[in-house]
Structure 1
């Protein structure tokens, strides 16, 4: 094979210029509603591309703009700048009603993940109804984690990337402090029933309804 043919074959596997790779990443993120992992970007781009490096340039280019490149867990997405979120309220606000029981359960999972149902009940001090867990799973804010290597091998629960994306978090470490949650009324202690000891569980603990008329919180 001639030297000219070797050069032509080698050029077929040459990675695009970094500016072009940056444009490719931009197109992928704009066209995809869900966050995209670096591995998925790599699979879509030409051989030899460096999506991680391209992301660095793209992130810098969007600094100070109306939209930002943000990291969500191990993936990336283009989202509205936090200070301009009010402009999107009419288009994006969706009211979700959750009982305080569901909010507390979600907060416990976020801060103590992976955790089992028994551990959630121990922290809350009351039983957790199956409906509460099912609703959070249906919303795709929590998912099943690995089973514990303990007797019975109970399942664990962890928060999802949808949860992180919804609240604008890169990972669970970015959650507000427990003191802030208590100040917001999300982790208040439940008063013990009249005549009950502090360690007793309320008789209606299993009636942990998701949509109690007198205990509903609205989330954007």
Structure 2
């Protein structure tokens, strides 16, 4: 198979795929006769071929996919005018802390936020498949350790956590981290339009130790 035909096969498979395709998926298209280096080169060519168009080919945490460019969203949203889900500040702060400090326990999150983290918040993030339990800390009660998922990165359009802004670039405030790094496609609303619902959070007194954690010291 020549290069042009191989690119057509890749393009067709990626355009009709419902989910991102891994390198293994893509190699299976050619019965593993195409090496990883050759496949990567063809994908790079496809990325270049689609430059300047309304759709782009991107590499995400779980594989490769075609997606609309961000500047197309205002037009595409007219096809589906229903409002996207809104997430409270409590949910977004919790997600930001997990993203930047993972793996963390609920106790770790509470230390940073200075509030009790309700089960509803954790369940909402788990149901959205943005966080998951990755282990348990060897401490009394063996609390669950939470980390972000590939779905979280895919929804942000990222291939790895390394692509999140560095903490020193956005400050140590969880909400500021989130506003700087999470795209509207993930939030479902601009940061200044987020709901003020607390999701049952109960404020705790903030100690000097808590303040040090919040300041990132």
Residue pairs, 1:119-158, within 5 angstroms: 119-148=108-137, 152-158=141-147
What is the match of residue 52 of structure 2? 64
Alignment of structure 1 residues 176-191 onto 2, 5 Å: 176=165, 177-179=169-171, 181-182=175-176
RMSD value, Cα: 3.0
Q: Which sections of structure 2, spanning at least 5 residues, go unmatched?
A: 180-190, 209-217
Q: How does 1:137-216 map to 2 (within 5 A)?
A: 137-148=126-137, 152-176=141-165, 177-179=169-171, 181-182=175-176, 198-199=206-207
Q: Which runs of 5+ in 1 are unaligned?
A: 1-15, 201-220
SS in 2 for 1:35: coil
Following superposition, the deviation at residue 47 of structure 1 comes to 3.2
- Partner residue of 1:83? 71
Are the structure 2 counterparts of residues 197 and 152 from structure 1 closer, same or farther at C-alpha, using a change threshold of 3 Å? closer
**Is structure 2 residue 24 aligned with structure 1 residue 39?**
yes
CA distance in 2, matches of 1:198, 1:135: 26
Is this contact kept in 2: 1:69–1:76, CA < 8 A? yes
Report the alpha carbon displacement of residue 124 of structure 1 after superposing the two structures with TM. Answer: 1.2
Aligned residue-pair number: 179
Describe the superposition over 1:125-161 as per-residue Cα deviations: whole angstroms up to 9, x where unpaired: 2221111111111111222223345565433222223
Q: Rate the CA distance shift 1:54–1:197 in 2: closer, same or farther, 3 A.
A: closer
Are the structure 2 counterparts of residues 199 and 134 from structure 1 closer, same or farther at C-alpha, using a change threshold of 3 Å? same
Aligned-partner SS, 1:146: strand
**Greater share of residues in helix:** 2
